[in-house]
Chains A and B, each alone.
Chain A
């Protein structure tokens, strides 16, 4: 078909080509014709032109006419040639159209044929596929089923056979093991049972005999009781020994002798769901055949397509539909056969294994039972009919007999013993009691008749006085004799002699005699004394010992003795005695506050605290621990003392400065003929005040002695005594008014205060009248300075925190401002201290209170080129004081009015007041520079540095500094600096370069190099 079509197509193609060629030829011909025609036309045109020209070229017409004829002839020729071609073309086109129509028709026929063939192929394919599919299912199913069945059957059969043989072996092993166990158990059990039975019999019979013997010797009854107890215990033990293993064996038998059920489902990995039946593998069968006939290819293809499609589809379907059946049949048949074969085999190994295991199990199970049963049986039998010649019988017999006899015998014996002993006691007790009573009576009577029998009844003590003074007053005083009176009874019919009485101080006395049958009190039987150092108000213990020898039975004669064997009638008769004086002195006091050089009186009270009156004359003695003799008259003698008497006639006068402001203790005692009869219960400690005595160069201690007496005394003692301090006692208002009015100048004042400012509050006047005085306020609460600053004297005072050499940490120095506080003569300094550090502060205060000139002179002598680098306290103080002055002036200036109305004279003081430190320093440094004067110049440099920084950068001063004052200060410092700057450069260039830096070491404060406060000036 295809070839035909191809042929036709080729023909058509050729025809078409021919046609095209003809057409092309025609076209070319046409084109040529047209060209010709055009040429002809042109020619005609030309001819026309020529005709036109002919007129002119008439001569050429005849020459050109043949050419025209020729051209026309050519044209005719071409047309004649074209005509057949055109006819051929038309013919070819017709043929082509016919060919196309034929092809279409062919195609339709072909399609119809293809479909038919395809359907046929599908039908055949289905048939073949079904058959092949069935065959495949059969082959695969049978092969796989047979194989799987064979394998599974073999596996299951083998396993079951093995289990079967294992069970058979187990059964046999069980039987054999059981038999052997029973046999051996029986043998062993019989032997053991025999021995046990003989032993039992021996025991029984021996026991019986022992019992009978014991009973025959009056122990039978006990033996029986013991036998009953032992038999009961043994039966409990025997039951446990027999029952427990028997129950165990029964439980094992219950669970192990039952056969296990085997599973009914067989097969290897039965229950896992992988597909066993072979799945469709797509392998085509022998019927699969495609079309290889001579049909046209396309028909062949159609056939094969249909065939293939249906073949595979039905092949698979049939396979799947039937495979299970074939497989199952083959599987089952093969499985059964294989299983049976495998099952029927013998599995000796499993048999032997089962046999061995079961044998051991059965043996272990049955042996103990058989043994036990044989044992029990034989035991019972031989117990009934024992072999009396056997060792076990004889042994157990003898043992049981011996044991039984001993125990029964002892029991009877102990019971009889207890009963008999009680009966015998009851019948003999009365007679034996009377016999022993009468004998003893005679013995004791003889002791009383032939000896003394003493008893210490009581005692008392009596004060015997000192040299008979102060005796019998009921008071026991140091060194006083003590008499002891004792009372002793004598029950014997003989007098007692040689009784010794010993005091606690070792003194011994003897009592001559104590009559028979009497009670005697011996006065002064003993004597002792109160120790001379006995504490008044305390007590002492007086101990007395009484001894007497014993000649007769100690138990009788010494029955009242504390220690009859040692002959001690009374070991320690103790009396506790209070120690005191018969009189007491009290209330020693002065008539008023003791003042230096002012006579004063003393008074005292005397009390008789004894139990009797005292007649004198008694002398009262006064003593004082002062540096000088201050008692100008003692008390008059006292004639008698009954109760309390008051005396006030003694005199006292202190006129030695060494005794002022220091504690003075006055003691007193009363005596009679040298015997002290009383003393002062509380000593008088007092202090002598004095008005202010100025000791130049010594610190002035300011306080109120009424409030702070002990602080004052301690301070004076710290300072080394009254000679090292002047005391300004504010409690002596009147006496010290003048001193206060005068004030202190260039002094150091130690203000002894408390945290409440008791003294600080009283400093106003002193602040007003004093100048250049450093007040060091001492209180441990560090608060008195704060209180002092509330005084009007401290109005606008400048408080400068300084960091000075040797002090470690900063503290404040307050400078009063005499320009602001009214009434101030000059500026004073205030520093807070406490009792721990005030002495260090005092040293500083000492320097601080130096005048400016003195400080400058000190600087001049101290500072040198060599030590300028070391911090100098003198320079620091100069700077501090200089700053304080400037600050005070600044404050006065600032407060003097508004911005434009301030008192310029105050600022002018910077320049004009020669007493200011700044000006004194300027003046002092205006020298010709030399090695001798370099010190003051360097001091000035340091001073300048400190002042400049102080007024500009040191906040406590600088923050309030006015422009004007600062400017004056800087200008003044500049002028001072001008004095030596150039000469210093020439004198020592190196020093000149370094001096300003080194000078910073002498600043009394720390300051950061920040911008000045000029913008904040008011």
Chain B
């Protein structure tokens, strides 16, 4: 018996969820609904050169890409010239790769951040701005296919925030040398920091080839393919996007845990070992 809010009349509810016999089911559904909500959400910050979200195809019902944050306060994106050969759009391809590989049933909030200024240069203040911004958004993980080149030790005012970090290990090439120091790589190993390397894809079935020009080889946590032969966008930038998508698919709840060891443990249980052709090197992947 309940009182109608509309009429004030007392009435008896028949054959509805409010009947007592349905209460256990209702509670179960509510519990599952609530717990499901928590497990299926993730907040990601992506730090790179630039992005053109309007040019991306993704499920807008599940994925929300927030407006760009320019940590350099100097960049103006011209997305009409979107091109895989233009490094200003490097971040866009990283994001695209992640969206292609990300679990389809998750609710994902993404905050893209630019840290290369109008002169294509990174500076410490930009990274500080970027990390502060992402911290304010309470993100779960930072995805970065970039690192800040350092001349000496990591400055004391440049620190990681509380979230997890998935960072591509980088490889030598151009201005980056094998002994180049980078932030946040120099801080590895850390529970919250994952360096992701890459390998060359097999020609046949399993002839992976190890890339010995990767940076921080002794600190890399997991390896993924650098991308198909002939693709314009390949390398550790691509592998870190694939790696984060895979990690989220395997251990979604652990990304919310404040204990970084929980994610490490979960991923570790599900890793697989790949044998590289020629070198015989064994590398972990997911």
Contact = CB atoms under 8 A, between A and B. Distances in A.
A271 B146 contact: yes
A696 interface: no
B237 A324 contact: no
Nearest to A276: B173
Contacts of A277: 171-174, 213
Contact of B237 (A273, A279, A281, A317): A273
B200 interface: yes
Given A277-B173, A327-B173, A272 B278 contact: no
Residue among A159, A277, A279 with the most chain B CB within 10 A?
Answer: A279
Contacts of B237: 272-275
Interface string A262-274: 0111111111111
A271 B233 contact: no
A271 B173 contact: no
Given A264-B151, A268-B87, A273 B172 contact: no
A269 B116 contact: yes
B147 A269 contact: no
A320 B119 contact: no
Contact of B149 (A152, A155, A270, A282): A270
A266 B175 contact: yes
B47 to A, nearest CB: 10
Interface in B170-184: 170-176, 180, 182
Given A263-B151, A268-B120, A273-B168, A152 B175 contact: yes
Nearest to B150: A265
A992 interface: no
Given A272-B146, A277-B173, A313-B207, A324 B213 contact: yes
Interface string A313-342: 100110010001001100100010000000
A384 B44 CA distance: 75
Contacts of A269: 49, 87-88, 90, 116, 120
A267 B176 CA distance: 9
B213 to A, nearest CB: 5
Contact of A281 (B120, B168, B230, B236): B230
Contacts, number: 116
Nearest to A270: B175
Contacts of A331: 173-174
A948 interface: no
A272 B87 contact: yes
B234 interface: yes
Interface string B229-249: 111011111001000000000
Contacts of B207: 313
Contact of B172 (A155, A263, A328, A335): A328
Interface in B45-98: 48-49, 87-88, 90-91, 93
Given A159-B119, A269-B87, A271-B146, A280 B200 contact: yes
B286 interface: no
A152 B145 contact: no
Contacts of B227: 279
B214 to A, nearest CB: 10
Contact of B116 (A148, A272, A335): A272
A181 B182 CA distance: 45
A797 B233 CA distance: 111
Interface string A577-594: 000000000000000000
Interface residues of A, number: 34
B226 interface: yes
Contact of B90 (A264, A266, A274): A274
B148 A271 contact: yes
Contacts of B90: 269, 272, 274
B49 A272 contact: yes
A372 B217 CA distance: 63
B203 interface: yes
B209 interface: yes
B203 A275 contact: no
A274 B230 contact: no
B285 interface: no
A270 B200 CA distance: 23
Nearest to B174: A276
Interface residues of B, number: 47
Interface string A135-160: 00000000000001100100100010
B174 A274 contact: no
A274 B227 CA distance: 11
A312 interface: yes
B229 A148 contact: no
Interface string A613-648: 000000000000000000000000000000000000
B122 interface: yes
Given A274-B87, A282-B229, A320 B200 contact: yes
Contacts of B233: 274
Contact of B234 (A263, A268, A275, A324): A275
Interface in A650-704: none
A324 B87 contact: no
A316 B204 CA distance: 12
Interface in A733-788: none
B87 A270 contact: no
A265 B149 contact: yes
Interface in B100-145: 116, 119-122, 145
A279 B201 CA distance: 11
B149 A271 contact: yes
Contacts of B93: 274
Given A267-B174, A273-B146, A277-B173, A320 B120 contact: no
Contact of A324 (B168, B170, B173): B173
B145 A274 contact: yes
B226 to A, nearest CB: 7
Given A268-B120, A273-B235, A282-B229, A317 B170 contact: no
Interface in A144-203: 148-149, 152, 155, 159
A589 B207 CA distance: 141
Contacts of A273: 145-147, 168-171, 235-237, 240
Nearest to A148: B174
A270 B122 contact: yes
B147 A271 contact: yes
B233 to A, nearest CB: 7
A263 B234 CA distance: 28
Given A270-B149, A324-B172, A324-B173, A275 B122 contact: no
A279 B234 contact: yes
Interface in B194-229: 200, 203, 207, 209, 211, 213, 226-227, 229
A328 B116 CA distance: 24
Given A316-B203, A317-B209, A271 B174 contact: no
A630 B88 CA distance: 131
B278 A317 contact: yes
Nearest to B173: A276
Interface in A868-913: none
Nearest 9 CB-CB pairings of A with B: A267-B175, A275-B235, A276-B173, A265-B149, A276-B174, A269-B87, A277-B173, A273-B170, A270-B175
Given A271-B122, A275-B236, 19 more contacts: A263-B121, A265-B180, A270-B120, A271-B147, A273-B240, A274-B87, A274-B235, A275-B171, A275-B235, A276-B173, A280-B229, A313-B203, A316-B203, A320-B209, A324-B173, A324-B213, A327-B173, A328-B173, A335-B175
26 contacts: A265-B149, A265-B151, A265-B175, A265-B180, A267-B176, A269-B120, A270-B149, A270-B175, A271-B122, A271-B182, A273-B171, A273-B236, A273-B237, A273-B240, A274-B235, A275-B234, A275-B235, A275-B236, A276-B173, A276-B174, A277-B171, A281-B229, A282-B230, A313-B207, A316-B200, A327-B173
Interface of A: 148-149, 152, 155, 159, 263-277, 279-282, 312-313, 316-317, 320, 324, 327-328, 331, 335
Interface of B: 48-49, 87-88, 90-91, 93, 116, 119-122, 145-149, 151, 168-176, 180, 182, 200, 203, 207, 209, 211, 213, 226-227, 229-231, 233-237, 240, 278
